[in-house]
Structure 1
């Protein structure tokens, strides 16, 4: 089991992002990018299962968790800009990017526009697009009505709905507490940005090796979305986890760690 240390990265302009780090320096760096209303803690189970040979970083994005919470900057391209700035701040020239859920949008934007910074791309339950999906629109209707403080019952219900099977109660409590650190405006503006952006356009122009991982009991992202991604990214591979929901890194962190380690091993 790997040891996790916590640090803080200061980006240009002073924006500060906390991040977790594990593994030994020297190998191909891996940067894990969390999704909506989340924080680096979402990847804690995966980080614990990674071998020391994988040098992993997991930053918390602006507005989320214990990161700084500026008034604006919550479009997908803003998160991609922050991701590029994080690589600079952490001294990472080139990394494998691992995006969980909507975190994969920022990861693939950066992979498309700066392939020299991205050795490979792993997408975990990442949508091809969100606009028009009935379940997403139902969530948006509730998010759009949120006030501060965000209702803990809503945050817990939201997180419970991401999995096909229950996760350990302590972990669910942790990710729910992390979700509650995001103010209502961050919940709203981040989702508004995902709905208003042409997410399909962010799939094109990606030339780096890509692994797509999807749980076949995902109630948010259908398999057709994964096929859209695989068809759009040349050479992309699809790996299906049976019996798993939207966040495979919560439900089967050991599988994700295994497959991520194998993928990273291709880069020597």
Structure 2
């Protein structure tokens, strides 16, 4: 299966666009696994564009998650466990037996739950600005609950100020994240956020036993250092790297650095033969 964006029909009843870079069959035959990218709430696969550009030789898979980007937007199915079911169905549809999983922000929350419930499918985790817990309403939940269609571009731009940036981010990248926000109806903004804050935190439901790299910005006001250190302790052998001059949006602020960290981490891990 060669590079490109394709629409993938999932056994969970929805279709999602998925960017694939490289040959999935070849990497499996070689004993490796692709890198699966899981985007944050309110974003899309395109949020990984700058990271992908920094890893031109990597085999990668980057879908739009349910309700986001150009994925189908049913009214239901946004519980954390259901999003994980979509990820499992995507891997099955692409005949991917194992993947290295990189999740940004709440995408890393999905990745944690995926590793808890389907450790056989996860070769490793890279968690980028990822929370220990999203349980309980976040400060901005009330602003989301009163949203009505059509979503205002001004509202989406203002919502980006919830996340402090310490580095310059290209204006074109910000504009693209605004497009992501406008692609989501008000009902999906609400349902997808509730799916996160109503879920029991993944590491309270089971154990994560796969090799894990954690990348966290020291100026992250949404994910406190204490929570990040607790998450690192809960994942046996997890490696926590602190970016002292970065906030919550590590992927936005330094995608090239994230790409380098992830590539180095994955290169250290052993390959195993394809099963079946």
* Aligned counterpart in structure 2 of residue 87 of structure 1, from 76, 86, 91: 91
Unaligned stretches of 5+ in structure 1? none
**Alpha-carbon separation, structure 2, partners of 1:61 and 1:139:** 21
The alpha carbon displacement at 1:159 in A equals: 2.2
RMSD: 1.8
5+ residue gaps, structure 2, are: 272-276
Q: CA deviation at 1:215?
A: 0.9
Question: How does the TM-score come out when normalised to structure 1?
Answer: 0.92
Tell me what 2:274 maps to.
none
- Contact 1:128 1:199 survives alignment (8 Å): yes
Alignment partner of 1:44: what SS? helix
Structure 2: distance between partners of 1:141 and 1:197: 18
1:250 is paired with a residue of what secondary structure? helix
Deviation at 1:137, TM superposition (A): 2.9
Structure 2 distance, partners of 1:202, 1:155, is 32
Q: Which residue in the other structure is 1:169 paired with?
A: 171
Partner of 1:8, secondary structure, is strand
Q: Distance in 2 between matches of 1:117 and 1:206?
A: 12
**Equivalent pair of 2:212/2:239 in contact (CA under 8 Å):** yes
* Distance in 2 separating the partners of 1:138 and 1:207: 32
Aligned to 1:21: 20
Assess, with a 3 A threshold, how the Cα gap between structure 1 residues 203 and 160 changes in structure 2: closer, same or farther.
farther
Query: In the alignment, which residue of structure 1 is the partner of 2:67?
Result: 63
Q: Which residue of 1 aligns with 2:155?
A: 154
Instruction: Provide the rounded CA distance (Å) in 1 between the counterparts of 2:202 and 2:13.
Output: 32
1:29-71 per-residue CA deviation (whole Å, 9 max, x = no partner) reads 110001111110111110000140x211111001011000111
Find the partner of 2:182 among 174, 180, 183.
180
Checking the alignment, whether the CA contact within 8 Å between 1:28 and 1:264 is kept in structure 2 is: no
Deviations 1:145-169 (A, max 9, x none): 1011112112112224323333110
Query: Structure 1 residue 187: deviation in Å?
Result: 0.8
Counterpart residue number, 1:259? 261
Q: Tell me how many residue pairs correspond in the alignment.
A: 262
Tell whether 2:104 aligns with 1:100: yes
Q: Does the 8 Å contact 1:65/1:178 carry over to 2?
A: yes
Task: Rate the CA distance shift 1:150–1:86 in 2: closer, same or farther, 3 A.
Answer: same
Contact 1:62–1:69 (8 Å) recurs in 2: yes
Q: Structure 1 residues 22, 203: closer, same or farther in 2, change over 3 A?
A: farther
Matched, 1:119 2:123: yes
Corresponding residue number in structure 2 for 1:204: 206
